[in-house]
Amino acid sequence: MAELVLIGVAAASVYIYKFMPTLRVAYVNTEKLFNSYQAMVSARRVYQDEKQEWEHNLETLAHEARQAQEARQGLGSGASARQQAASDEILRLKQQQFLNYRAAVQQQNPTEMQRLTQPVVAAANRYLAIYSKQQQYDLALSHQY
């Protein structure tokens, strides 16, 4: 993908140089910009913290489900039908809690990073537009972040 961007930039540069020699062009390395932009670093840190919390919660729920399964297996054949049914229900609930939470995390995970970083990207784009105008650039090139 990066190669296509560079080829596109090179082709645009040749075209601009040949047909529009007075055109002022700027190139913004958005990867470098966002890797050093404190707001983006903070957004990524928040995401990593959330992700660690999700993983911790998943581990806790998995552990509880394993404990319920071990408790059910530990009842043996000497337990009453009522005890076995109660243990089965606890096991089912613990497994369902784990599965529901895992599904929620899998659904939320891809969109959470975008939710956290989208305002930062929008603010950076607004700033770059203002800066380009102030510096009288006719065209500002960057690759999509």
Q: Which of 88, 91, 23, 84 has its CA nearest to residue 61?
A: 91
Q: What is the pTM of this model?
A: 0.66
In this predicted model, what pLDDT tens digit does every residue of 86-132 receive, in sequence order? 999 999 999 999 999 999 999 998 899 899 999 988 988 898 889 88
Strand partners, 141: 27
Q: What is the mean pLDDT of residues 130-138?
A: 88
Q: Which amino acid is at 49?
A: D
- The domains of the chain are located at 2-142
